[in-house]
Amino acid sequence: MLRKFVRPGVRAAGLLLALTVVLTSVLMPANVSAAPAASPDASPSASGYYCAYTHYVRRGETLSGIARWYGVNMWTLARANGIWNPNYIRAGQRLCIPGGYYPPPPPPSYCGQYYRVQYGDTLSGIARRCGTTVHKLSYLNGIWNPNYIYRGQLLRIY
């Protein structure tokens, strides 16, 4: 009686769905146990990368800058930490640095009482390297716009 109201194509699709459910339940294991936890030293991150180093993001840092510092591709760093938007990282966030990368040694400090600005320098980079603040450098040198310094400019540090 039901056969006249159900079209043949719909009945075949229903049988195929029922067969799929039965085969899936028979072939798939009922309970899957988790792998034992590895030791903390050799444990991979959530995405499967091994953490050679851990970095905690500081205020003002970018993912591309952190990647450049450790010599890692920015997209590899993002993938290793499950970051979908590389423009959004938070201060205090823990990052797993994948592979065998370690930070390079800090650059030598050429900071005496005065510092001559080199190509590519920023006031914040000079302040960090010389152990002072951007505000103090701006005040000592009469700089109104900390984003505008030029190569060859002589800055007073202390």
Query: Tell me: the pLDDT tens digits for 94-145?
Result: 998 887 555 555 555 567 788 999 998 999 989 888 888 899 999 999 999 9
Q: Are residues 118 and 94 in the same domain?
A: no
For residue 147, the SS3 value is: coil
Decide if 9 is inside a domain. Answer: no
Whole-angstrom Cα distance, residue 57 to residue 44? 20
Decide if 127 is inside a domain. Answer: yes
Domain total of the chain: 2
User: The domain spanning residue 149 has which CATH number?
Assistant: 3.10.350.10
In contact, 77 and 119? CB cutoff 8 Å: no
Decide if 54 is inside a domain. Answer: yes
Backbone torsion region of residue 48, taken as left when φ is above 0, otherwise alpha when ψ lies between -120 and 50, otherwise beta: left
Q: Are residues 49 and 89 in the same domain?
A: yes
| pTM summary value | 0.39
What are the tens digits of pLDDT across the range 51-88? 878 889 998 899 998 888 888 889 989 999 999 998 99
Bridge partners (DSSP) listed for residue 54:
96
For residue 91, what are the domain limits?
A: 44-98
Whole-angstrom Cα distance, residue 57 to residue 62? 8
